[in-house]
Amino acid sequence: MQQTMTFRGNTLSARVLPESWLTNVVLVVAGSALMAVSARFSYQFSFSTVPVTGQTFGALLIGAVLGSRLGTAAIFAYLAEGSAGLPVFAQGHSGIWEFATASGGYLFGFVIAAFIVGWFAERGWDRSRWIVLPMLAANAAIYVPGLIWLHQQFAVVQTPISWQTTLDYGLWPFVAGDLAKLVAASLAVPAGWEIVEKLRTSL
Protein backbone atom coordinates (compact mmCIF):
# COMPACT_ATOMS: atom_id res chain seq x y z
CA MET A 1 0.00 0.00 0.00
CA GLN A 2 1.45 3.35 -1.03
CA GLN A 3 1.86 5.91 1.74
CA THR A 4 1.23 9.61 1.22
CA MET A 5 4.07 11.89 2.31
CA THR A 6 2.96 14.23 5.07
CA PHE A 7 4.36 17.74 4.91
CA ARG A 8 2.59 19.29 7.88
CA GLY A 9 2.73 16.55 10.48
CA ASN A 10 0.71 17.01 13.65
CA THR A 11 0.15 20.75 13.22
CA LEU A 12 -2.83 23.06 13.54
CA SER A 13 -3.13 23.45 9.77
CA ALA A 14 -3.18 19.65 9.36
CA ARG A 15 -5.97 19.45 11.94
CA VAL A 16 -8.07 21.98 10.03
CA LEU A 17 -7.29 21.15 6.40
CA PRO A 18 -6.66 17.77 4.74
CA GLU A 19 -3.22 16.95 3.37
CA SER A 20 -3.04 17.48 -0.40
CA TRP A 21 -0.65 19.15 -2.81
CA LEU A 22 -3.22 21.87 -3.58
CA THR A 23 -3.83 22.62 0.10
CA ASN A 24 -0.10 22.76 0.74
CA VAL A 25 0.45 25.21 -2.13
CA VAL A 26 -2.37 27.43 -0.86
CA LEU A 27 -0.90 27.39 2.65
CA VAL A 28 2.57 28.30 1.39
CA VAL A 29 1.14 31.24 -0.58
CA ALA A 30 -0.95 32.31 2.43
CA GLY A 31 2.12 32.12 4.65
CA SER A 32 4.15 34.27 2.29
CA ALA A 33 1.27 36.77 2.19
CA LEU A 34 1.26 36.91 6.00
CA MET A 35 4.97 37.74 5.94
CA ALA A 36 4.31 40.50 3.41
CA VAL A 37 1.57 41.98 5.60
CA SER A 38 3.79 41.68 8.69
CA ALA A 39 6.54 43.61 6.90
CA ARG A 40 4.15 46.54 6.45
CA PHE A 41 4.20 47.10 10.20
CA SER A 42 7.62 48.72 10.40
CA TYR A 43 9.40 51.51 12.19
CA GLN A 44 12.86 52.88 11.50
CA PHE A 45 14.96 54.04 14.43
CA SER A 46 17.02 57.12 13.57
CA PHE A 47 20.19 55.48 14.93
CA SER A 48 19.79 52.07 13.29
CA THR A 49 19.83 50.88 9.68
CA VAL A 50 17.59 47.91 10.53
CA PRO A 51 13.83 48.62 10.86
CA VAL A 52 11.56 47.13 13.50
CA THR A 53 8.87 45.05 11.75
CA GLY A 54 6.14 42.53 12.46
CA GLN A 55 8.02 39.86 10.49
CA THR A 56 9.28 38.07 13.58
CA PHE A 57 5.69 37.47 14.66
CA GLY A 58 4.83 36.28 11.16
CA ALA A 59 7.73 33.82 10.91
CA LEU A 60 7.02 32.30 14.34
CA LEU A 61 3.30 31.97 13.64
CA ILE A 62 3.88 30.46 10.19
CA GLY A 63 6.27 27.86 11.57
CA ALA A 64 3.90 26.92 14.39
CA VAL A 65 0.83 26.58 12.18
CA LEU A 66 2.36 25.05 9.04
CA GLY A 67 5.19 22.96 10.49
CA SER A 68 8.86 22.85 9.60
CA ARG A 69 8.60 21.95 5.90
CA LEU A 70 5.75 24.15 4.75
CA GLY A 71 6.72 26.91 7.16
CA THR A 72 10.20 27.03 5.66
CA ALA A 73 8.73 26.85 2.15
CA ALA A 74 6.44 29.81 2.92
CA ILE A 75 9.37 31.97 4.04
CA PHE A 76 11.37 30.99 0.96
CA ALA A 77 8.36 31.87 -1.19
CA TYR A 78 8.19 35.27 0.52
CA LEU A 79 11.89 35.89 -0.13
CA ALA A 80 11.47 34.82 -3.76
CA GLU A 81 8.53 37.18 -4.22
CA GLY A 82 10.54 40.09 -2.86
CA SER A 83 13.56 39.16 -4.97
CA ALA A 84 11.36 39.08 -8.08
CA GLY A 85 10.34 42.70 -7.50
CA LEU A 86 7.14 42.51 -5.48
CA PRO A 87 7.12 45.23 -2.76
CA VAL A 88 6.80 42.74 0.12
CA PHE A 89 9.88 43.62 2.17
CA ALA A 90 9.90 46.14 5.01
CA GLN A 91 8.81 49.65 4.02
CA GLY A 92 7.65 48.36 0.63
CA HIS A 93 11.15 47.56 -0.60
CA SER A 94 11.84 44.87 -3.17
CA GLY A 95 14.60 43.40 -5.30
CA ILE A 96 17.36 40.88 -4.80
CA TRP A 97 19.72 43.68 -3.71
CA GLU A 98 17.71 43.89 -0.48
CA PHE A 99 19.74 40.89 0.74
CA ALA A 100 22.86 43.03 0.49
CA THR A 101 21.47 45.64 2.89
CA ALA A 102 21.85 45.68 6.66
CA SER A 103 18.61 43.67 6.97
CA GLY A 104 19.75 40.85 4.68
CA GLY A 105 20.90 38.51 7.44
CA TYR A 106 17.64 38.85 9.33
CA LEU A 107 15.68 37.82 6.23
CA PHE A 108 17.54 34.51 6.15
CA GLY A 109 17.07 34.21 9.89
CA PHE A 110 13.31 34.03 9.36
CA VAL A 111 13.81 30.77 7.46
CA ILE A 112 15.68 29.23 10.40
CA ALA A 113 13.08 30.51 12.86
CA ALA A 114 10.15 28.99 10.97
CA PHE A 115 11.92 25.64 10.77
CA ILE A 116 12.74 25.54 14.50
CA VAL A 117 9.23 26.43 15.64
CA GLY A 118 7.69 24.10 13.05
CA TRP A 119 9.81 21.16 14.20
CA PHE A 120 8.60 21.56 17.78
CA ALA A 121 5.01 22.19 16.67
CA GLU A 122 4.99 18.85 14.84
CA ARG A 123 5.81 17.23 18.18
CA GLY A 124 2.91 18.79 20.04
CA TRP A 125 4.56 21.82 21.65
CA ASP A 126 2.12 24.15 19.91
CA ARG A 127 -0.82 22.88 21.95
CA SER A 128 0.39 24.58 25.11
CA ARG A 129 2.06 27.83 26.05
CA TRP A 130 5.36 25.93 26.33
CA ILE A 131 5.70 26.72 22.63
CA VAL A 132 7.16 29.99 23.93
CA LEU A 133 10.46 28.15 24.59
CA PRO A 134 11.04 27.05 20.96
CA MET A 135 9.93 30.51 19.91
CA LEU A 136 12.59 32.04 22.14
CA ALA A 137 15.19 29.79 20.53
CA ALA A 138 13.88 30.67 17.07
CA ASN A 139 13.96 34.37 17.82
CA ALA A 140 17.57 34.06 18.96
CA ALA A 141 18.33 32.20 15.72
CA ILE A 142 17.09 35.20 13.72
CA TYR A 143 19.71 37.38 15.38
CA VAL A 144 22.66 35.11 14.54
CA PRO A 145 22.82 35.65 10.74
CA GLY A 146 21.32 39.11 11.19
CA LEU A 147 24.08 40.40 13.46
CA ILE A 148 26.89 38.66 11.58
CA TRP A 149 25.72 40.19 8.29
CA LEU A 150 25.16 43.62 9.86
CA HIS A 151 28.67 43.59 11.32
CA GLN A 152 30.17 42.70 7.94
CA GLN A 153 28.09 45.35 6.16
CA PHE A 154 29.61 48.09 8.28
CA ALA A 155 33.07 46.76 7.48
CA VAL A 156 32.36 46.77 3.73
CA VAL A 157 30.35 49.94 3.07
CA GLN A 158 31.16 52.08 6.11
CA THR A 159 33.73 52.28 8.88
CA PRO A 160 34.34 48.92 10.64
CA ILE A 161 32.69 48.84 14.06
CA SER A 162 33.08 46.77 17.21
CA TRP A 163 30.74 43.92 18.07
CA GLN A 164 29.41 46.00 20.95
CA THR A 165 28.34 48.69 18.50
CA THR A 166 26.80 46.02 16.26
CA LEU A 167 24.70 44.85 19.20
CA ASP A 168 23.72 48.44 19.93
CA TYR A 169 22.44 48.82 16.35
CA GLY A 170 21.04 45.36 15.64
CA LEU A 171 20.03 43.68 18.90
CA TRP A 172 19.23 45.77 21.95
CA PRO A 173 16.68 48.10 20.29
CA PHE A 174 14.66 45.07 19.14
CA VAL A 175 14.64 42.77 22.18
CA ALA A 176 11.62 44.22 23.97
CA GLY A 177 9.47 44.32 20.83
CA ASP A 178 10.50 40.81 19.77
CA LEU A 179 9.66 39.45 23.21
CA ALA A 180 6.19 40.99 22.93
CA LYS A 181 5.73 39.49 19.47
CA LEU A 182 6.79 35.99 20.48
CA VAL A 183 4.56 36.07 23.57
CA ALA A 184 1.64 37.08 21.35
CA ALA A 185 2.44 34.23 18.94
CA SER A 186 2.84 31.73 21.79
CA LEU A 187 -0.63 32.66 23.07
CA ALA A 188 -2.29 32.71 19.65
CA VAL A 189 -1.38 29.18 18.57
CA PRO A 190 -2.66 27.25 21.64
CA ALA A 191 -5.76 29.44 21.54
CA GLY A 192 -6.22 28.39 17.91
CA TRP A 193 -5.99 24.73 18.91
CA GLU A 194 -8.58 25.29 21.64
CA ILE A 195 -11.02 26.92 19.24
CA VAL A 196 -10.56 24.23 16.58
CA GLU A 197 -11.07 21.37 19.04
CA LYS A 198 -14.19 22.97 20.50
CA LEU A 199 -15.63 23.46 17.03
CA ARG A 200 -14.88 19.86 16.04
CA THR A 201 -16.52 18.42 19.16
CA SER A 202 -19.61 20.60 18.72
CA LEU A 203 -20.21 19.44 15.16
Q: What pLDDT, on the 0 to 100 scale, is given for residue 82?
A: 97
Average model confidence (pLDDT) across the chain: 92
Residue ranges covered by each domain of the chain: 12-40+49-198
The closest of 185, 170, 138, 61 to 161, measured between CA atoms, is 170
The pLDDT of residue 64 is above 80:
yes
Q: What pLDDT, on the 0 to 100 scale, is given for residue 4?
A: 56
For the stretch 29-43, pLDDT in tens is 999 999 999 999 998
Q: Which one-letter amino acid corresponds to residue 136?
A: L
Strand partners, 42: 53
Global confidence as pTM: 0.93
Please give the backbone phi and psi of residue 191, each rounded to the nearest 5 degrees, phi first: -65, -40
The pLDDT of residue 2 is above 80:
no
Strand partners, 53: 42
Q: Which one-letter amino acid corresponds to residue 21?
A: W
Distances (CA, A) of 167 to 37, 50, 145, 148: 27, 12, 13, 10
Q: Does the domain made of 12-40+49-198 have the CATH classification 1.10.1760.20?
A: yes
Q: What pLDDT, on the 0 to 100 scale, is given for residue 113?
A: 98
Question: Which has the higher per-residue pLDDT, 47 or 152?
Answer: 152
